[in-house]
Amino acid sequence: MGTFVPSGKQIDRKWYVVDASGQTLGRLATKAANVLSGKLNPQYVPYMDTGDHVIVINAEKVRLTGLKTQSKVYRRYTGYLGGLREESFTRLVSRKPEKILEEAIKGMLPKTKLGRAMGSKLKVYRGDKHPHQAQKPVAL
């Protein structure tokens, strides 16, 4: 008798919706990353994408603890000489709050092709509306 390994067609992917209002950024990101990677599924295999889809709503209402709202800085590099761009948390949350959650959650996934496949099942939205009602998402 061998070990059961699911094929890609046998994986039944569920849809979950998470309300980010009032939740701490890191704790919410770990919950979502575990669901995306499939670690909560009984058929989890480390070398396959067995995760479910995650929809995060109310991204602008996520909170940070301590003094991180004033001191946290997001950096990106344009690719040109001297092209390091920095943006504070308060400015980024007013301009593009979805980016904060996407970076936090995708940063907890593997940095491989498999991790990018897991990250593509993440959908983050600014308000409490999302276009995935047809998938009948369940609250996480």
Question: What is the CATH classification number for the domain harbouring 57?
Answer: 3.90.1180.10
Q: Does residue 23 form part of some domain?
A: yes
Neighbours of 36 (CB within 10 A): 26
Q: Average per-residue pLDDT in the chain?
A: 94
- How far, rounded to the nearest angstrom, does the alpha carbon of residue 90 sit from its chain's CA centroid? 20
pLDDT at res. 21? 95
pLDDT at res. 25? 96
User: What is the identity of the amino acid at 39?
Assistant: K
Q: Does residue 1 form part of some domain?
A: no
How much is the average pLDDT of 74-100? 96
pLDDT at res. 10? 84
Q: Does residue 65 form part of some domain?
A: yes
Q: Does residue 54 form part of some domain?
A: yes
Task: Residue 80: give the domain boundaries.
Answer: 14-139
Number of domains the chain is built from: 1
Residue 47: closest CA among 122, 123, 119, 118: 118
Q: Does residue 83 form part of some domain?
A: yes
Q: Does residue 7 form part of some domain?
A: no
**Span 41-85, pLDDT tens digits:** 988 888 999 999 999 999 999 999 999 999 999 999 999 999 999
Residue 131: closest CA among 17, 12, 14, 11: 17
Residue 132, pLDDT > 90, answer: yes
Residue 123, pLDDT > 80, answer: yes
Positive or negative: CA dihedral 73, 78, 79, 81? negative
Neighbours of 61 (CB within 10 A): 16
